[in-house]
């Protein structure tokens, strides 16, 4: 095992999951996701985009604790997750697993890991797929339930991924 494998395994053994965090930049948002929740709680892995890393980590730990306690977060809206605001949950299309969640695929040795994406609403309570969602926030939350690049990603995020060789 290399250092990353040992850390992931240690976190899963100690906490029930590991939270992987990827830094964003001016072209693409940062994101975070769990590895091990499926293994320890029988719950799909969870991801969130566009939040500050500490907030994302805290959110995923909170959701992981709910899952470990028996709550199943199915696609739809869930109240009370974001300080009184609803949380939208959608199933990530398998097309995006290697692009965004490669360490989860590596851990499970599969490109078919069940992954849910958690969405936060804009100031008016709308989600990114709803009419009227704050356009300036759209880049922060890709719609990974769509397999189509143009439907899932804003043009700048798609271009950043193409430049990295991920698309």
DSSP string, 134-167: -GGGGGGS--TT--SHHHHS-HHHHHHHHHHT--
Per-residue pLDDT of the chain (167 residues; tens, 9 = 90+): 689 889 999 999 999 999 999 999 888 899 999 999 999 999 999 999 999 999 999 999 999 999 999 988 999 988 877 677 788 999 999 999 999 999 999 999 998 899 999 999 988 889 999 999 998 888 999 999 999 999 999 999 999 999 999 99
Residues 25-72: tens digit of each pLDDT? 888 899 999 999 999 999 999 999 999 999 999 999 999 999 999 988
Contacts 24+ apart (CB under 8 A), 152-160: 152/93, 152/96, 156/27, 156/28, 157/27, 157/28, 157/29, 159/27, 160/25, 160/27, 160/28
Q: Is the pTM of this model over 0.75?
A: yes
* Residue 135, domain extent: 3-164
Q: How many domains does the chain have?
A: 1
């Amino acid at each position: 095992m290399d250092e990353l494998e040992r850390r992931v395994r240690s976190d899963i053994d100690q906490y029930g999951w590991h939270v992987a965090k990827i830094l964003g930049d001016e072209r693409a948002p940062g994101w975070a996701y769990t590895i091990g929740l499926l293994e320890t709680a029988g719950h799909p892995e969870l991801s969130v985009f566009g939040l500050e890393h500490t907030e994302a980590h805290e959110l995923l730990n909170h959701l992981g604790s709910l899952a470990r306690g028996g709550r199943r977060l199915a696609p739809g809206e869930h109240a009370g997750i974001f300080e009184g605001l609803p949380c939208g949950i959608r199933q990530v299309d398998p097309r995006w697993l290697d692009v965004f969640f490669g360490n989860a695929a590596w851990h499970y040795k599969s490109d078919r890991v069940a992954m849910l994406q958690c969405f936060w609403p804009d100031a008016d309570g709308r989600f990114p797929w709803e009419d009227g969602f704050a356009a300036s926030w759209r880049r922060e939350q890709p719609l990974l339930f769509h397999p189509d690049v143009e439907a899932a990603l804003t043009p700048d995020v798609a271009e950043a991924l193409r430049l990295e060789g991920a698309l």
